[in-house]
Structure formats: structure tokens, C-alpha cells
Amino acid sequence: MDRSKRFHSARLHSAVLTLLALGLLTLAYWLSQRSAVEMDWTYGHRSSLSAETLAVLRDLDGAVSVTAFVRDGDDAAALRRRISMRFEQYSGIKPDLTVTFVNPDLQPDLARALAISRQGEMVVRMGERSERLQALNEQAVTNALYRLARRGTKQVWITTGHGERDMKATAGYQLSSFSEQLRRRGFAVDTLRIDGNTAPPGDGILIIASPSSEFAEHELAQLLAYLDQGGSLLWLADPGAPESLGTFAEALGLTLLPGLVVDASTRSRGIDNPTFVLGNPMASHVVNQPISKDTPALFPRATGIDAEAAEGWDATALIGTTQDSWTETGAVSGQVQYDAGGAERPGPITLIVALTRPAGAGTAEQRVIVAGDGDFLTNAYLGVGANLPLGLAMLSWLATDDASISIPTRPAPDTRIDLSDRQIALLGLLFLILSPLALAITGATVLWRRRRRR
């Protein structure tokens, strides 16, 4: 009888525990449907939006719509899921941000009107303004939203009339692709002829794009007056720049070094032409954020810059070469080498310089960038390495739009293992020889023991 009571008591106890567990599971499900709790356990909180992005979202004062163009196909579902997951982070902070998917094959007129050219391309719209988006990383998305929120359009003038690079021509050595990228970023781009009759406007950014012919004295006077009035400037100074621009360089406290910059270290990256120079940051500066050790900028046929800075100016060497470089004043053919004791300058060589000085009332500072190469922004090389992001960062900085290039990228740490040849050989010995041999010995031993037992 006692055994029967204990049996029924155990069954009752088990039933109560089962009902209690089911109740707790039901309660947990009900709570999960009513509220969501998210925790980011990734290193550096890479799966959470940065403080800079949160600030941009707080400043948006209108509804944002994202139209993503995705064709049907094997990867369509995965691509839609990635896009949705990315913008769910943003809509969690800004509920009036919506995402719509469009199949361009079913709506070709809309795709043509928006010039959609690739799978997964997106158009982000707020009010009457829109931005094209081709990347899903936080920096690209937040910068697009920032440009939508920005009031006004910054004017960019590219000089013409002295053999400068053309902003509309599609040849490899011209600037049509870079000009289009600037327009997509919210800049208005146009040409300006420096002929002594039309003074450069002081409220935009002037680009002197690798001129090949000389400037007259009255034209140089206009350029110097533009500087004196506090104008922003990007000067692309290729090797063999017109001598008349030497006066302009002196006004900034710069000297363009003779010869071409060559770099012996590029061979390790499979570049046989020594005049193709890798540029790396020389200072911690917002313009340098797009450049990393694994993604440098490439400068074909560059000239070095000696920056002392004229009175009133502060100069910062932004981009430079390695110690394996020098300025070659002789013919670049065959086996080139550095000639000590002459006019050649050993590396590292400065390639890009940023200059600032206090400006007038209402403006924080005047900004100028001088680059010893214009090829890196041309159609032929714009997509190489960090060339395009660097060019866009330079223009954003000149437009005093630092916030649009300061969204941090937070890569995962330790995603790459660098091993020496000896370590690779040891790993090969372990996994290709020792491990199979150990398995064979173990199998043979087990087989031998079993046979002995028989």
C-alpha cells in the first residue's frame, strides 16, 4: 500500500513539474511576442549601429523609403534577406524608414528611369531628394542618409582652358567617372575657364585638374586672389606641371620635386612598373580613413611634394610612400636604382598634402589639398584600391563635410592568420603526414589486438 501511494505521489509530482514547465514555456513565448530584447555580443559591438549613425538618424526629419531592385534568381532570397536585415537596424531607430523590393524585369520603365545597372542596387529617398546605394555596409548606408539630410548643394568647379583633364570625356585619362561619383554624393560639378575674364567663385571648391599648358600672369593673379578670398582648392599636380604654377605653389609653401616617384616595394604586390606607387597614410587624418594596409591607394606616375607651408598655413602630409621609394630624375627603363648624392630624394616621399589656415568670420578654416598625381582619379584607375574612397573623402573634407566620412568601419579582429614558411611547413607535416600516420598505426594496433584475442 505504501508502495502504491509513493507511486501515485511520484506521478503527481511529475505531472505538476510538467505542467509548470509548459506554463513557463508558454509565458516565455507570450513575452517574446510582446517585446524584443537584443544583445550584441560581437567584438566591438560590430552588429550594432555606431554613435555617429544614431546621431544621423536622430537628425532626419522626414520619412525615408528604400527601393531595392532585385531580380528573381538563385541568390534573390538571400540578397533580399541581407537587405532587410541591414535596414531593420535602422528602422528600429527610425520607424518611418521602409524598404520595398522591386523586380526590374517586371518594372523596366522604373528601372530605366532610375538608371539601375546592377543586382541589389538601391535608391534611398527622403522628400524630393534621393541617393543611389550599391553597398550594404554601415558607412555607405549612413553616408547616404547623411547626404539626404544635408541642406544645400556644394558646387565643384573644374578648371579648363589649359589642357586639364575633362570632366565629361570617357577616355581612360579623363575624369567623367569621378565627376559622376561626386554628383551622386550631392555635389554640383561644372567647368570653369580660367582666362582672366571670369573670376573663380569663392563659395565652392575649385579643382585644378592636371593642366599641361602655362597660365598667363593675369590668370595666376585670379587663382591667387581666389586663395586670398578663402576659397577651397584641390590641385592635381602631375609630373611636368607648368612652370607658371610654381608661383602658385610658392604661395602655399610647397615645392614640387623633380623627377618621377618610383617604388621598389610594389613588386611584392605583383606590380612590375616602378612608377606605379602605393600610397599609405602619413598622419591620422579624417581623409585617410578609407585607406588601410591591405587597401592602399595607387598612384601612377606621381611627383613628390616638399611641404614647408607658407606663413599662416598649417601643412599636414596625408599620403606618402614607403622607404623603398625615391624620386627618379633619370630615364625610368631597365633596372632603376637610387643615386645618392644627387638631386634624387630618398623615401618616404610625400604625395598628398593638406593645408589649412584660419578663415573669415563664420567659417572655421580655409582648406586646400595638393596631390602629386592626377591619374589616380581618372577613369582608368578610379576603381583601383582605395582611390575612389580617398578622392571622395578629399572632396568631403574640402567641403567641410567631415561627418560624412567619419562613420567608422569596424572589421572583425583576427580574421587573417599570417604564418611564416616554417610554420606552414610544420602544419603540412602535422596534417598531411603525422596525422594520417598516427591513424594508420592506431588502426593497425586495434586490428592486431583483435586478432590476438581470437
| Straight-line distance from the first to the last Cα atom of the chain, in angstroms, rounded to the nearest whole number | 53
Q: Please, what are the domains in the chain?
A: 51-147 (3.40.30.10), 152-405 (3.40.50.880)
Tell which wins on pLDDT, 95 or 116.
95
- Give pLDDT, residue 357: 92
Q: Do 295 and 386 contact (CB within 8 A), yes or no?
A: yes
3-state SS, 132-148, equals EECCCCHHHHHHHHHHH
**Region 200-225: what's the mean pLDDT?**
88
Taking the C-alpha atoms of residue 403 and residue 236, their distance in angstroms, rounded to an integer, is 24
Q: Do 245 and 216 contact (CB within 8 A), yes or no?
A: no
Taking every pair of Cα atoms in the chain, the longest distance, rounded to a whole number of angstroms, is 119
Where do we find the cell 507570450?
Answer: 30
- Give pLDDT, residue 101: 94
Q: Do 403 and 52 contact (CB within 8 A), yes or no?
A: yes
- In 3D space, the residue among 200, 193, 201 whose CA is nearest the CA of residue 164 turns out to be 193
pTM of the model: 0.65
Does residue 269 have a pLDDT over 80?
Answer: no
Where do we find the cell 589649412?
Answer: 356
The average confidence (pLDDT) of the chain is 83
Q: Report cis status (omega within 30 of 0) of the bond before 348.
A: yes
**Region 278-298: what's the mean pLDDT?**
87
Does residue 66 have a pLDDT over 60?
Answer: yes
- pLDDT tens profile 1-33: 566 666 667 777 778 888 888 888 888 777 766
Does residue 222 have a pLDDT over 50?
Answer: yes
Tell which wins on pLDDT, 276 or 418.
276
- Give pLDDT, residue 138: 84
Radius of gyration of the chain (CA): 31
- How many helices (H) and strands (E) in the chain? 11, 17
Does residue 378 have a pLDDT over 90?
Answer: yes
- Give pLDDT, residue 43: 47
Tally Cβ neighbours within 10 Å of residue 129. 15
- Give pLDDT, residue 13: 75
Taking the C-alpha atoms of residue 322 and residue 262, their distance in angstroms, rounded to an integer, is 10
